[in-house]
Structure 1
């Protein structure tokens, strides 16, 4: 291993777990915001009037990001810290699923609604930006923790 890498490892070993968790949480929160903004941009919107289960714009407004930091015992077994971006209520999550896959009404004669997928497109559109955001925030936070 190079000397630079060994020096970095030594610094990281000295860094307190709390500082790493705080840096990770902030980086994941920032990454989640990047993803949430793209989902809000690509989510289909009703044509100006409420119909069905949601008010106009309710799906877009419901997207939230949730950060999950693995505890030490879980991290040792391979569990990773994650950020999840999804609607914040069961109804909006259901509507999201129906939009992604399409759906039929409650009766046999009901017309099937065609799928209008946008989640994968949002993921693909922001993948590089999300990784860059994570890297920048983690770098900044670790430098702050080292008082550089």
Structure 2
């Protein structure tokens, strides 16, 4: 587990209010549309997909804000005729760890990270991120996911 600051990231993004029970409705579908839109608008893709959770508390029923973001190069023209928007993600202080394998292990990595946050007397910010470094839907044991627990400094 590593404490780090993620620099600002320019992203093409989708945002909604949802719950953990409803997340499967966004898996693969939104990322695919983000990639397609970035290519259509001739944006350079500069990083992997992020899922950003604001206000999720682990309860499957709790409503929270979900942002699914694709890092792209700065796009100088106004973004028109798009279902998505552009913004900069602010610098993000976090405690990060990696999950190698199926996303069924996300609960365990979150538990380990939160235990580490508490052991180090850090304060959680209420924002968590998952960065999908490798997504292998046919062989989930090949997935690589960086989980970032937001902390205040």
Judge same fold: TM > 0.5, yes or no: no
Looking at secondary structure, tell me which structure has more strand per residue.
2
Looking at secondary structure, tell me which structure has more helix per residue.
1
TM-score by length of 2: 0.23
TM-score by length of 1: 0.23
Instruction: Find the structure with the greater CA-based Rg.
Output: 1
